Chain A
Amino acid sequence: SQQGEEDPQALSIQEGENATMNCSYKTSINNLQWYRQNSGRGLVHLILIRSNEREKHSGRLRVTLDTSKKSSSLLITASRAADTASYFCATAPRMEYGNKLVFGAGTILRVKS
């Protein structure tokens, strides 16, 4: 069963605006990751935040993690048309054997130019 649930399911914004996507999960985790998927392509890893971290930045991306609420958010600032894609959160459950990740259903982001 899915661990992560993204919200909203779809988001449409104008170029230059910020986009915020949220993810909730159910069990204790080692880390949480965000991936991007362009249409017809595989997923690409964006950023990883460990369970003992609260915030992380990478370029125009800002990720927060609240383990008490079992939730995370991904903020994309100053969005561009090229940011149009689906975004997925994935959790690495604690106590899981190997390198398993559990993915949510994703948020579809459309950036209009």
Chain B
Amino acid sequence: NAGVTQTPKFQVLKTGQSMTLQCAQDMNHEYMSWYRQDPGMGLRLIHYSVGAGITDQGEVPNGYNVSRSTTEDFPLRLLSAAPSQTSVYFCASSSSRGAGQPQHFGDGTRLSIL
């Protein structure tokens, strides 16, 4: 079992470029989410999905887009990268049976915007 796999692990972009961060899970989890982690601020929720075809915004959604065409995959798109989006991005998944299920995290994508 691979769990939650994120690619790439590192990425450097120029301001204005777009890119997609990939996330895949093999646990058949309904719930998937994207967080960003900045120093001293913990994790902040960007977007989440409760199942294929259903997505919603989290706390800091501006500048990001998501889709969920399959249960396994939940890509995060940066539409036009800005230096403020320099961060570490984590994808997580969990079962949806009952509220507040423990989440399984990938190892993150470290993104720098120049």
Whether, in the assembled complex, A13 has its beta carbon less than 8 Å from a beta carbon of chain B, the answer is no
Shortest Cβ distance from residue A56 to the other chain B in the assembled complex, whole angstroms: 13
Q: Which B residue's beta carbon lies closest to that of A99?
A: B31
Instruction: Map CB proximity to A onto B83-114 as digits: 1 under 8 Å, 0 otherwise.
Output: 00000001010111001111111111000000
B90 contacts A33, C-beta separation under 8 Å: no
The answer to whether the Cβ of A98 comes within 8 Å of any Cβ in the partner chain is: yes
List chain B positions with a Cβ less than 8 A from chain A. Answer: 4, 31, 33, 35, 40-45, 48, 50, 56, 58-59, 90, 92, 94-96, 99-108
Contact among B4, B56, B100, B106 with A101 in the assembled complex (CB-CB below 8 Å): B100
Instruction: Let me know if B42 and A99 touch, CB within 8 A.
Output: no
Contacts of B104 on A, CB cut-off 8 Å? 45
Residues of A within 8 A of B (CB): 1-2, 4, 29-31, 33, 40-45, 48, 88, 92, 94, 96-106
Nearest A residue to B97 via CB reads A99
The reply to whether B100 and A2 form a contact with Cβ atoms under 8 Å apart is no
Residues of A within 8 A of B101 (CB): 99
Minimum CB distance partner of B91 in chain A: A42
**Do the beta carbons of B100 and A30 come within 8 Å of each other?**
yes
Is A99 within 8 A of B105, CB to CB?
A: no
Partner of B99, one of A45, A88, A92: A92
